[in-house]
Structure 1
Amino acid sequence: MHIHRLLFLLPPISAHALGGIRIIQSNDDGWAELYVRSFHDALVASGHDVVLSAPAENKSGSSSLDVEPHPRATSCQYSSCPPASGPIGCNATSPRLNWVNSFPVTAMRYGIETIGPQFWNGAAPDLAVSGPNVGSNLFLQVPFSGTVGTAVYAVGQKGIPAIAFSGASHGTLSWNTTPVPERSLVYAELAARLTDAVVASGKPYLPPNVWLNVNFPEASDECNSAANFKWVLSRINPGIFSPADVQQCGGTRLPTETDVANGDGCYVSVSVGDARDKSTAPAAEQAVVLKKLGSLLSCLP
């Protein structure tokens, strides 16, 4: 795959040229990881105007680190860029696919401030998405996750609503893996489905300082089609000493995302996160998300 340095004279494209919204996309597993590429394709298929800006290589566990990119000496992840390629670059034939030689948050920052606006006539993104991460991001993993860090940066520093997606099925995959494993396609379809539901709910897509932490269970013989999955409103931390949650499924304490992940069945946890501390958002914000996504949500058995 031939890569060249980022172009700064690309012709502007209408904000809603693809019939959707402007979406900036990132991850922490690297720009050439298959999960993020499958999701990119699914968002484009949904009609969104999406631009990927992700690390040049796997930077998992880098939390909210943000350091200016520096020129690469070696090739990018999966040999997806040649040595001595500079600090940032893009796919020569698909310039909406971009890499930044730094941490995930840095890649998101460049995507919001520099890369995305080239395609959007100077406009900012309407929504930020990250992932799907290779592996779950639950409870104690959340503060350290670069996938989460990018979403929290978009919300907390730029005021852009954001969603972080993670999938329990492990195993890194190159962008050009063929045939594409079912888990990558299923996660992409699920992530696009929730994104579309958030967009369809109307602006503002999420309350201020709120992001969604979404975790898919392992893809399996049972959970092998997007239609088989059910969505559960959850919380990030246990909340033993926290105020009551929004009333849902007959109670005022939402299940933790870990409870959802450890349960039997194809259940997806959707936690309403507070960008100020990466913990669970208060009940008032949960209620807004519940109203927006209510028709999509289910209860644990």
Structure 2
Amino acid sequence: MRSFVLLAAALPLAQSIRIIQSNDDGWAEANLRTFFDVLNSAGHQVVLSGPAENQSGTGSNDAAPKQVDADGCIHASCPGKSPPTGANATDPRLNYVNSFPVTSIKTGIDVTAPKLWNGAKPELALTGPNVGGNVAVQVPFSGTVGAATYAAKTAQIPAIAFSGQTGNPTAWNAPTPLHSKVYADLALNITTTIINSGKPYLPANTYLNVNFPAVTETKCNKPSEFKYIFTRINTGVLSSRDANWCGSTRLPWEADVILLRGSSCYVTISPGDANDKSTVNDAAVQTQIINKLKPLLSCLP
């Protein structure tokens, strides 16, 4: 299988930083674990804190963790009746929280990561890649987005939510799917670009909503095929004008780019308002983010 780490090779190596990871599909999901491995190989200090079970569609729900039920964690990754929180027996950086994605990332930020980092907290929060896209009306209900917006708004940690159109739930110890490898390296490319742009990595109370297109054995499976498009989460018909980018003051709608033009291998990156999960409608803030992502971004034809 070809290596997709080459995707970021054109960019300078990012400095090593502290990263907290989570998702809503469960701590033992292949997409999340593959991204963990790629971030670790890139030299970052990574702590994963994800839900014990699939918590897709739970938005920003938050509740105290409870004892794991008799069936155990997702993909048989912990025994039945396990404690409310726990770690992999051989790697304390891999952690489950038997509650919602927001609770999972909050526990990682406030408790788990500081214990492993001598009291330090994360510098960047990365959620996903989600199994399935998070586009338009899906965004407010996504636990992957909910965890990212908690980090950006409440914990004041820059955050990126990643989602991919291809895939089904896959265990961490199953053969790694092609799409998981592709999405992990695309996500690393965006992460590296943001880190290389310098602190603050993102403006306050903002997050990035990133969606990857479908991946197949014959299409959208080589680094050279992907282009990154700066988009809006919602259409913006009644919003003020966007940043002046690609010859327009109205950014394209991510649903149009990722769904209707998905065969073109476009990755959408949308600036999100962590207060309500919609598009950041401040053109000046959009411009700040565009300037950070310029090494990656392309314009639609």
Q: What range is the shorter-chain TM-score in? A: over 0.9
Segments of structure 1 that go 5 or more residues without pairing to the other structure are 1-17
Quick one: which amino acid aligns to residue 212 of structure 1?
L
| 1:10 equivalent in structure 2 | none
Once the 2 structures are TM-superposed, how far is the Cα of residue 85 of structure 1 from its aligned partner? 1.0
Deviation at 1:19, TM superposition (A): 5.7
Q: Following the alignment from structure 1 to structure 2, what is the Cα–Cα distance between the partners of residues 127 and 259? A: 29
Aligned pairs (5 A) from 1:175-254? 175-178=172-175, 180-220=176-216, 221-254=218-251
1:256 matched to 2:253? yes
Partner Cα separation in structure 2 for residue 56 and residue 228 of structure 1: 35
Partner in structure 1 of residue 267 of structure 2: 268
Q: What is the letter of the counterpart of residue 278 of structure 1?
A: K
The C-alpha deviation readout for 1:74-122, integer Å capped at 9, x for no partner, is: 2110110011211001101111000000000000000000001111110
Partners in 2 of 1:51 and 1:295 — Cα distance? 27
Contact preservation (8 Å) 2:20, 2:126: yes
- Give 3-state SS (helix, strand or coil) of 2:126's partner: strand
1:129-144 aligned within 5 A: 129-144=126-141
For 2:87 and 2:222, locate their aligned partners in 1 and report how far apart those are by CA, in whole Å: 32
1:298 is aligned to 298
Q: Which SS does the other structure have where 1:295 is aligned?
A: coil
- SS, match of residue 24 in structure 1: strand
Residue aligning to 2:4: none
d(CA) in 2 for partners of 1:147 and 1:70? 20
- Classify the secondary structure of the residue corresponding to 2:294: helix
Structure 2 residue aligned with 1:62: 58
The counterpart of 2:91, out of the listed 94, 103, 115, is 94
**How many pairs are equivalent?**
283
Amino acid at match of 1:93: T
Say if 2:24 and 2:144, in contact at 8 Å, map to a contact too.
Answer: yes
* TM score, norm. by length of structure 2: 0.92
SS of 2:256's equivalent? Answer: helix
2:24 to 21, 28, 35: 28
Q: Is the 8 A contact 2:129 2:164 kept in 1?
A: yes
Following TM superposition, the consecutive aligned residue runs of length 4 or more in structure 1 with deviations greater than 2 angstroms are: none
Aligned counterparts of 1:19 and 1:132: Cα–Cα separation in 2:
22
Q: Give runs of aligned pairs for residues 275-286 of structure 1, distance below 5 A.
A: 275-281=274-280, 282-286=282-286
Q: TM-score, normalised by structure 1?
A: 0.92
Q: Is the CA contact 2:23–2:50 (under 8 Å) kept in the aligned structure 1?
A: yes
- CA shift for structure 1 position 38: 0.4
Show the counterpart of 1:52.
Answer: 48
Q: 1:170: how far off? A: 2.9
Distance 1:144 1:156 in 2: 17
CA distance in 2, matches of 1:147, 1:54: 10
| Whole-Å separation in 2 of the counterparts to 1:235 and 1:90 | 37
